[in-house]
Amino acid sequence: MEILFVSDPLASFKIYKDTTFAMMREAQRRGHAILACEPQQLVWQRGGVVQAQVRAITLTGDPKTWFTETASGVRSIKDFGAVVMRKDPPFDSEFFYATHLLEQAEREGARVFNKPRALRDHPEKLAILEFPQFIGPTLVTREADAIKSFHAEHQDIILKPLDGMGGMGIFRVKEDGLNLGGIIETLNKDGAETVMVQKFLPAITEGDKRVLVIGGKPVPFCLARIPQGSEVRGNLAVGGKGVAQPLSESDWAIANALGPILAARGLLLVGLDVIGDSLTEINVTSPTCFQEITDQTGFDVAAMFVDALEAAV
């Protein structure tokens, strides 16, 4: 079948670690045709259907020129066997608009993964609120006094913006409360924006685990992203070390509980972030770590994904 990937520019891919590339490579290996476009190339006009300027590509196996373009042109989104939405965060206004265009394409007959409505309904920081039994002490507010009270209770806390990605904008405030007021003002913009505050979890030293769930089923290995040096963040984007490891008993419990629920809502691929035994985020826009897990364990995550994609269409 023809698979359209809606993604960031192909020229920006770091193919040695890019999960979308791993998906494309496995799909091509199975004989599927690979096409790509960017969200800004989606267009709709009254009397027609959602279309996009797309590129048909063939992967070459050469890391320097990793694809060749075999054709290009305007195509209707509904005509593809599957559409895989893989635009990286942030979830900004343009991402939001793209989900609405893709939802219109669904009404016209397109099969989109992850489902556009589900992308909108599961903001990656706030989606955990539905599952309080799996999370640590957490506060969501724009009120400075509420944050200060939370700090007074828990002493060692993490503050983060709701629209952050890759560890950006995350602060830790310890017992002394040093700079808490300034950090609050920075993040909540003097009460204009909402902030998430969580009790610091010492288990971060063992890694911020990315647990992948595909078609409602957990990948049996996670990637523990371990902070380096004095850094409190384990995100790979800020220098964390990725170590693949088998899921723990609590990882399995969380993934098995959430997997079927999220899959039923149209989330074919989900990345759960777990520190110790606590769920900290539910990533749905463009979950990663396929290649790191496969390279270190031999478990073919991309094959599991394409299996699920084929089954879903």
Question: What would the DSSP string read from start to end of 3-37?
Answer: EEEE-S-GGG--TTT-HHHHHHHHHHHTT-EEEEE
Please pick, among 18, 111, 233, 235, the residue that the annotation labels catalytic: 233
The contacts of residue 191 (CB under 8 Å, 6+ apart) are 142, 143, 144
Beta strands 241-246 and 195-199 are: unpaired
For 16, phi then psi, to 5°, come to -70, -15
Burial of 133 (0-12, 13-18, 19+ CB in 10 A): exposed
Confidence of residue 16 (pLDDT cuts 50, 70, 90): very high
Average pLDDT over residues 203-208: 94
Domain ranges of the chain: 2-114, 126-130+203-307, 137-200
Task: State the Cα–Cα distance between residues 173 and 184, nearest whole angstrom.
Answer: 11
State yes or no: cis peptide before 179, omega within 30 of 0: no
Please pick, among 25, 75, 78, 125, the residue that the annotation labels catalytic: 125
Please pick, among 18, 251, 273, 292, the residue that the annotation labels catalytic: 273
Please pick, among 55, 160, 199, 209, the residue that the annotation labels catalytic: 160
CA atoms 99, 100, 103, 108: torsion sign: negative
Does residue 210 carry a catalytic annotation?
yes
Residue 228 has a pLDDT of 86
Task: State the Cα–Cα distance between residues 71 and 52, nearest whole angstrom.
Answer: 14
Residue 91 has a pLDDT of 87
Does residue 225 carry a catalytic annotation?
yes
- Is-contact 288 210, C-beta < 8 A? yes
SS3 189: coil
Nearest to 48 by CA among 86, 97, 87, 105: 105
Residue 100 has a pLDDT of 98
Q: pLDDT tens digits for 282-310?
A: 999 999 999 999 999 999 999 999 999 99
Q: What is the mean pLDDT of the chain?
A: 95
Nearest to 164 by CA among 279, 275, 285, 278: 285
Please pick, among 210, 235, 251, 292, the residue that the annotation labels catalytic: 210
Region 137-200: CATH code: 3.30.1490.20
Q: pLDDT tens digits for 188-199?
A: 998 999 999 999
Confidence of residue 164 (pLDDT cuts 50, 70, 90): confident
Average pLDDT over residues 42-51: 98
- The CATH class given to the 126-130+203-307 domain equals alpha beta
Confidence of residue 171 (pLDDT cuts 50, 70, 90): very high
Q: E strands along 175-248, which residues?
A: 195-199, 208-214, 217-218, 221-226, 241-246
Q: pLDDT tens digits for 65-80?
A: 999 999 999 999 999 9
Does residue 283 carry a catalytic annotation?
yes
Does residue 121 carry a catalytic annotation?
no
Average pLDDT over residues 86-90: 92
The contacts of residue 186 (CB under 8 Å, 6+ apart) are none
Q: pLDDT tens digits for 278-287?
A: 999 999 999 9
- Counting residues of the chain whose pLDDT is more than 70, the rounded percentage is 99
Tokens representing 246 are 């088998």
CATH 3.90.1150.10 fits 2-114, yes or no: no
Please pick, among 26, 225, 235, 251, the residue that the annotation labels catalytic: 225
Does residue 160 carry a catalytic annotation?
yes
pLDDT for residue 39 is more than 80: yes
Please pick, among 114, 208, 283, 292, the residue that the annotation labels catalytic: 283
